[in-house]
Chain A
């Protein structure tokens, strides 16, 4: 995984709450066996009309959306299914961060493992961002600060270990495998207890 330190980008806004992973990537596209190429199907049912042509009213199909790396959305983004295809699709499309007041647990965990930053902010900041699509936002992971074009700057929460892994491009599996001696001891102790019982 590439190290991730800073994202400076205009935002694209979907002012809707409870955007579930079925909207992010509908189930019929989950028959893939790879992670690649899902960006084309991102938000497919909102983004394309019945005949497959782009829906001109959907935000990702408007000129301002091109090249934006930060998605701002309403409360409880990423709820529902555990499909990791959701962050894969967002990343493949070109997004690097999602900002909301609340982000669902499994989506958050999946995002962090793929270099997509899930950022939760307070209501007032979220409201400002939702009301100002296209704002130039600066996300600094090293200092965990989000800076708005107004100059307002705030700290955002992110789990320390996930931040460390993202900053240094560390794969969590490598760390977990370094604990294999502990895992083997744990298993041996359990087996021993089971035998004596």
Chain B
């Protein structure tokens, strides 16, 4: 057999029916994660066809997108502010009960953002196929799983058959070598990769992040990398499982235990790509050359080193590109050539499925310890899960945040997309550790600058865009 990539191995092991010229492959799905926003219409499909969820044992539900983050609303019986969100949450409770799907409801200690809770439970495992009606499902690829976002119709397909009809994507190697410098994080690395590949460069591909830099990353960092694969257009991003992966998973609630653990690790070790396996595309990244990165425009590919300047408008030779650039600058209130450092900010959000894990809060705490949030700046810190919340409280980070003047909340997607009412005001500048700086993403008229937790915390303290290396 010719040498195979990690992706090839996982794909082949889940082919129920191989693809032909006329028909896509039938791909088996090991784990189906669902949440309140993209599942109701899929449950309606089941109901209209009088079908059950075929494998509730492979289905796990949580609520995260439209849920409140204020403690009194989550636990205190204060109603959810947004009526429609309350209805959506209630509908998921009804659907989960009716179809026998395990649900971590609003007050469950295991609840959190879908892409945070599944890894922390050990439900996400190497070699699995994992889908969810959410584009950041790519996060789980950090474990060597093939994980990708799907639409609600596909959610109904997985409910009914535990399978999806899929064309085999192409493979794209992202080779990263060199040591990240102090103050430069996994978030900066993935932003730099998106800047280089472009926001559609990964369309039709599955990324595999490889090389010594990736091998040296923790699981929290690897999840940050894989999470944003979709921002370069790739539905999935994968990292070969290794001892770091196994150490993370060992003794987690839903990981294999005892002799089954040993057998699983033995199997997982065979997943890494074979020497000589080839990819359809590749790029090389020098990690040692990177600086903290920050976005300046209205998509994640509009990104520069934090010490840099905004590029100049493409110019008269490219009228279409110029119009797009000028529209983004008008929305952001910026100009080509502007220096990023020192620009004033209004809001800082630390959280999301990209940067809402314990290590992200540890990083933020190193900056915020003994410091105060600048006057006039609102700092919202939202843990990715209730477990992360408990861990951050036990480690003392939460107290550091509160002492600094931050608002520390219950877990959820929160201000990443503002569905639950946690929004940024029109015209306000927000430094956010989330994944999308699209127009209006954090609220109508909100101006989002994506950055790492270190940069976000440093900027909160100074009230302006700040290089975190000046504060550590």
A-to-B contact residues, CB < 8 Å: 15-18, 20, 22-23, 26-28, 30-35, 45, 50, 74-76, 79-84, 87, 102, 104-106, 109-110, 113-114, 130, 159-161, 164, 172-173, 175-177, 179-180, 182-183, 186-187, 197
Contact = CB atoms under 8 A, between A and B. Distances in A.
Contacts of A164: 22
Nearest to A36: B41
Given A30-B419, A31-B84, A183 B163 contact: yes
Contacts of B204: 105
12 contacts: A17-B324, A18-B199, A20-B436, A28-B419, A34-B44, A75-B200, A80-B436, A83-B151, A105-B235, A106-B150, A176-B163, A187-B28
Most chain A CB within 10 A, of B85, B134, B321, B439, is at: B439
B21 A160 contact: yes
Contact of B203 (A17, A30, A82, A104): A104
B405 interface: no
B133 A82 contact: yes
Nearest to B320: A15
Contacts of A186: 16, 28
Contacts of B162: 183, 187
Interface in B11-33: 16-17, 21-24, 26, 28
A87 B153 CA distance: 11
A22 B44 contact: no
A104 B438 CA distance: 15
Interface in B28-55: 28, 37-38, 40-41, 44-45, 49
A10 to B, nearest CB: 21
Given A50-B426, A102-B200, A105-B203, 10 more contacts: A15-B323, A22-B417, A28-B419, A30-B66, A80-B230, A109-B151, A164-B22, A173-B157, A176-B163, A177-B160
Contacts of A83: 37-38, 151
B28 A76 contact: no
Interface of B: 16-17, 21-24, 26, 28, 37-38, 40-41, 44-45, 49, 65-66, 82, 84-85, 87-88, 91, 133-135, 137, 149-154, 156-157, 160-165, 167, 199-200, 203-204, 230, 233, 235, 263, 267, 299, 320-321, 323-324, 327, 417-419, 426, 436, 438-441, 444
Contacts of A80: 135, 230, 436, 438
Given A109-B154, A113-B151, A173 B419 contact: no
B205 to A, nearest CB: 9
A159 B167 CA distance: 9
A84 B153 contact: yes
Given A22-B440, A106-B149, A79 B233 contact: yes
Given A16-B327, A106-B150, A81 B439 contact: no
B134 A79 contact: no
Contacts of A113: 151, 153-154
A130 B84 CA distance: 38
B235 A30 contact: no
A82 B149 contact: yes
Given A28-B419, A102-B200, A23 B17 contact: no
Given A76-B233, A161-B24, A177 B161 contact: yes
For the complex of A and B, 6 pairs with smallest distance between CB atoms:
A31-B84, A84-B151, A110-B151, A33-B40, A82-B149, A76-B200
Contacts of A183: 16, 26, 28, 161-163
A80 B416 CA distance: 13
B323 to A, nearest CB: 7
A84 B152 contact: yes
Contacts of B149: 82, 106
Contacts of B135: 80-82, 106
B93 to A, nearest CB: 12
Contacts of A75: 200
Nearest to B41: A35
Contact of B263 (A26, A79, A197): A197
Contacts of A34: 40-41, 44
B17 A179 contact: yes
Nearest to A185: B16
B26 A79 contact: no
B22 A160 contact: yes
B417 A27 contact: yes
A18 B200 contact: yes
A172 B163 CA distance: 12
Contacts of A159: 24, 167
A132 B321 CA distance: 18
Contacts of A79: 199-200, 233, 299
B273 to A, nearest CB: 22
Contacts of B26: 176, 179, 182-183
A83 B233 CA distance: 15
A104 B200 contact: yes
Contacts of B267: 197
A180 B263 CA distance: 29
A114 B156 CA distance: 13
A113 B152 CA distance: 10
Nearest to A165: B165
Contacts of A197: 263, 267
Contacts of B165: 161, 172, 175-176
Most chain B CB within 10 A, of A16, A27, A197, is at: A27
Contacts of A26: 440, 444
A186 B54 CA distance: 14
B151 A31 contact: no
A173 B164 CA distance: 9
